[in-house]
Amino acid sequence: MEENRWWLEDYALFMAVKDRFGGAPWTEWAEEVRLRQKNALDFCRRELYDNIEFQQYMQYKFFCQWRKLKAYANKQGIQIIGDIPIYAAMDSADVWAHPELFQLDERKQPSAVAGCPPDGFSAAGQLWGNPLYRWEYHKETGYRWWLSRLRHCFRLYDVTRIDHFRGFDEYYSVPWGSADATHGHWEKGPGLELFRRAEEVLGWHEVIAEDLGYVTDSVRQLVRESGFPGMKVLEFAFDSRDTGSANDYLPHNYPENSVAYTGTHDNETLAGWFESITDAERQSVREYLCDSCTAKKDLHLPLIALVMRSAAKNCVIPLQDYLGLDNRGRINKPSTVGTNWLWRVTEDCLSSELQTTIRQFTARYGRLNEA
């Protein structure tokens, strides 16, 4: 509890109070609690003492279990990649407990929220709804809150993937109350200064920069100057709607300092993707492969091979793609709720044939870790 005091006390209180208010978001709580008036918080701490302790205990049990799992994985030569989202949810302990960090008014309502602009994938853009940061305030504090978040992730994971990395260069700001993201605009983020400060205070750690989405020259420059590997996703290479950046995702263009994926948790499976793209795009895929004969049901294997033999230092191949699963194996569809993160691998999928296939591919393209 002492080691995690900087976040645990606020989190446990937040969860206990949220439970008392029937799970309602904190913006709908009684005003004196919503605005964190001292007398109201003291009352909650007394009245909800047992629940607060229970919330702390659950976190303790999680960390015991997590450390045991991570130690086991590391002993087997396996590193764990963890994700840190750029934004916090509006309905979170962070925003409730530290409103000064975010673009909130005196009533603790956002003045603007996060999203991404209209593009070939969504005519209305994406309205994420996360409160945006007061970056000038973060700078004044030496980015103390961000350093705490990063330090925590570096303890949890062997490699940390920083989500929406382009938002540190420029972030898309949408006026609060907008129905969609069409009326947003770009604002400057903290840029390289944050990451130089992190390295100065926390030292060097393995990081992946999730540099997908609307990528500009200044974003590319930030990724280069940070030294972090960016992400390359094969499925983006043949998108006829995005000819400007599609070339960056062709495997022969991957730089060594990158992490190559067939697709991420946000994408379709390879088999599902190949089924959903246009005839012209499918033809482009086959031409790039120099393969007009492989049956569609088996095409996931030469596509995996494309990524594996690229110059990218590391590859991530979802298990669903090795299994050749269609979109019933998809993990997440961005901007939707209710049907995501439901796929589970069953024991009958983990056959000796699959094991042989993965090992052969890994060895064939010089990616086998004999250690």
Active site residues: 163, 210, 266
* Alpha-carbon span 85 to 163, nearest angstrom: 5
The amino acid at residue 135 is W
* Alpha-carbon span 116 to 112, nearest angstrom: 13
Secondary structure letter of residue 210 according to DSSP = -
The amino acid at residue 216 is T
* Alpha-carbon span 27 to 367, nearest angstrom: 50
Other beta carbons within 10 Å of 189: 19
* Alpha-carbon span 155 to 148, nearest angstrom: 11
Q: Are 187 and 174 in contact (CB under 8 A)?
A: no
In b/e form, how buried is each residue of 106-134, taking b as 16+ CB within 10 angstroms?
eebebebbbbbbeeeeeeebbbbbbbbbe
Query: In angstroms, how far is CA 339 from the centroid of its own chain?
Result: 18
The amino acid at residue 34 is R
Q: Are 189 and 222 in contact (CB under 8 A)?
A: no
Q: Which residues lie below 8 Å from residue 57, measured CB to CB, with a gap of 6+?
A: none
| Residue whose pair of structure tokens reads 């062709």 in the numeric block | 250
| Residue whose pair of structure tokens reads 């269609």 in the numeric block | 326
- Expressed in angstroms, the distance from the first to the final Cα of the chain is 37
Q: Are 114 and 172 in contact (CB under 8 A)?
A: yes
Indicate if the alpha-carbon torsion angle 196, 200, 201, 204 is positive or negative.
positive
